[in-house]
Structure 1
Amino acid sequence: MSSLDVAGTRAGVPAVRAAYFVSDSTGVTAETLGNALLANFPGISFVRHTIPFVDTTAGALAVVQDIDRAADAGRAPLVFTTVKQAAIRSALASARADTIDLLAGHLTELETALGTTASEQLGQYHGVGDMERYFERMRAVEYAIEHDDGQSSRALDQADVVIIAPSRCGKTPTTMYLALQYGLRVANYPLTDDDFPAEGLPRPIAKYAGRCFGLTTTPLRLSQVRHERRPSSRYSSLEQCTIELRRAEDLYRRNRVPFLNSSTKSVEEMSAVIMQTMKLRA
């Protein structure tokens, strides 16, 4: 046996594997599903490569060469594919890698259930598809940009949800994800020193309490994030972060605003909780 044990690690050294996400479209689906599977192996480090728009056999063979070079340098790479055309799948399967086809088995099962054959047209999932749905997402993104960080109070009555939190708790990325992924109109409002002390919500959003959702985090995490932006400032001090978070959580409770702690959650997780709590539909 080599110095690598069966788990692919040297004594005290985490395993490292190359992981390729190969798609005939944007690669988003391959990344999402592949990363969801890889997340179940936290003891292994992955060097990730996303290769989109592999829509010809020649292109697939070029990718195989890249994968084989990675295999020469270490353990066999992992290859996650979402490719429809059989010829391209066959070419990719020739790579010296462990290949996980994320579509093939499920498409076959679905074809059987529906009694029809799946289309091999490329990019249907992440294509424009339904034009009205596409334009609605774009309008939602424009709305999110206009209403980011309390910049505008115009048309707040059209917001599906108003995210409120102290600075750097994750308002903007969550807002943009909900807009782009689900077409929801989301505003966000920063809680600052000017909003305290007060019993009710800040005046610009007070009328929309039923649409508000709060974010919080841990003082240490907030201090670390703020330190990257303004090091050694009152803004990033642990004391200031503790005060702001305590005030924000008190405000949420007094006004019955649902909230969650963003310190250990991804944008996707936070968005799912917000949609479920606020009963929002994409």
Structure 2
Amino acid sequence: MSPTPDATVVFFVSDSTGITAETLGNALLANFPGLSFQRRTIPFIDSVEGARAVVREIEAATVAEPIVFSTVKTPEVGETIRAARARHIDLLSGHLTELEQSLGTTASEQLGQFHTVGDTERYFARMRAVEYAIEHDDGQSYRALDQADVVIVAPSRCGKTPTTMYLALQYGLLVANYPLTDDDFPTDHLPRAVRPYTARCFGLTTTPLRLSQVRHERRPNSTYSSLAQCTVELRRAEDLYRRTHIPFVNSATKSVEEMSAVIMQSLKIRP
């Protein structure tokens, strides 16, 4: 891995998938927006031999001191990794010990517990939610729309699908999304298909320039992607949200995670 000039090299090392190390590590790195980071995830390091290979990779990566975020439970493996010349941040050790003391029991030594199926009922609820999201993506179906926890309404390419899928996968929520098109205007009300569910509706918007850029990747040099068309569609959508009193958020300034949190808070959803 050749480091980018002025970028701090960051390793996420895990005895499982590395998702937890990435999530927690990136949450900490996000507090330093002015710095540049070059990231590398190394999963499934569950032996001393594997840990030694990681040490060699860390020390060969850069002349500057890298940062290593780790979620490794086996003491011998963790100690081996900490031998690398780097700044080490163990994301489990201290917190796991505190939790053991609070719960009055020791943590399981089995690896990868966070990403196993675990609670079977919760797992299948998420899978059902994903199936529901796929069926109801972009207004493809109105079947069982009354079962939806959330109905996302927005012009095309404002972030409806990624937000829908995140809410389904992460929280098991039944989410449908409906695209606002020219056929839905002019109107003083939400489109007929979603009007009975106004209390569950949430709107997305973005900036005209951002929408034009995203649409241009799909249909370059078309009316659909023109700045004028995007400006008109977003203005109509935001006016509609205000008239119908449904909450909305600008997707250009927020991540999918942030938008999902705003949606649940606004609609008072407790997953």
TM-score (norm. length: structure 2): 0.95
Structure 1 residues 58-103: Cα deviation after superposition (integer angstroms, max 9, x where no partner): 22222222111103xx312211111111111111111121111011
In 2, the alpha carbon distance for the partners of 1:277 and 1:54 equals: 41
After TM superposition, give the deviation of residue 281 of structure 1 in Å: 2.0
For residue 65 of structure 1, what is the amino acid of its counterpart?
A: R
- List alignment gaps of at least 5 residues for structure 2: none
1:219 deviates by 0.9
- 1:14 Cα deviation from its structure 2 partner: 6.9
Of the candidates 175, 178, 181, which is equivalent to residue 164 of structure 2? 175
- Residue 209 of structure 2 aligns with which residue? 220
Structure 2 residue aligned with 1:121: 110
Residues 250-261 of structure 1: pairs in structure 2 closer than 5 A: 250-261=239-250
Does 2:43 correspond to 1:56?
no
Preserved contact between residue 149 and residue 172 of structure 1 (Cα < 8 Å): yes
Distance of 2:107 and 2:186 partners within structure 1? 60
Indicate the residue corresponding to 2:25 in structure 1.
Answer: 34
Instruction: Tell me by how many angstroms 1:278 deviates.
Output: 0.9
Q: Which residue of 83, 88, 106 corresponds with 1:99?
A: 88
CA–CA distance in 1 between the matches of 2:45 and 2:125? 29
Report the secondary structure of 1:25's partner residue: coil
Query: Structure 1 counterpart of 2:44, which letter?
Result: F
- Aligned pair count? 268
Q: Is the 8 A contact 1:70 1:76 kept in 2?
A: no
Residue correspondence of structure 1 range 119-198 to structure 2 within 5 A: 119-198=108-187
1:189-238 superposed Cα distances (whole Å, 9 cap, x missing partner): 11011110111111111111111000001111111111121222111111
Deviation at 1:20, TM superposition (A): 1.0
Structure 1 Cα separation of the partners of residues 43 and 268 of structure 2: 34
User: How far apart are the structure 1 equivalents of 2:77 and 2:90?
Assistant: 12
What is the root-mean-square deviation in Å for CA atoms of aligned residues? 1.3
Question: Does residue 16 in structure 1 map to residue 7 in structure 2?
Answer: yes
Partner of 1:69: 60
Does the CA contact (< 8 Å) of 1:171 and 1:188 recur in 2?
Answer: yes
Indicate conservation of the 8 Å contact 1:14/1:45, yes or no: no
Q: Aligned to 1:265, what secondary structure does the other structure show?
A: coil
- Give TM-score scaled by structure 1 length: 0.92
Alpha-carbon shift at residue 120 of structure 1 (Å): 1.6
Determine what percentage of the aligned residue pairs are the same residue: 74
Superposition deviation, residue 158 in structure 1: 1.0
1:242 to 220, 231, 240: 231
Contact 1:15 1:43 in 2 (8 A): no
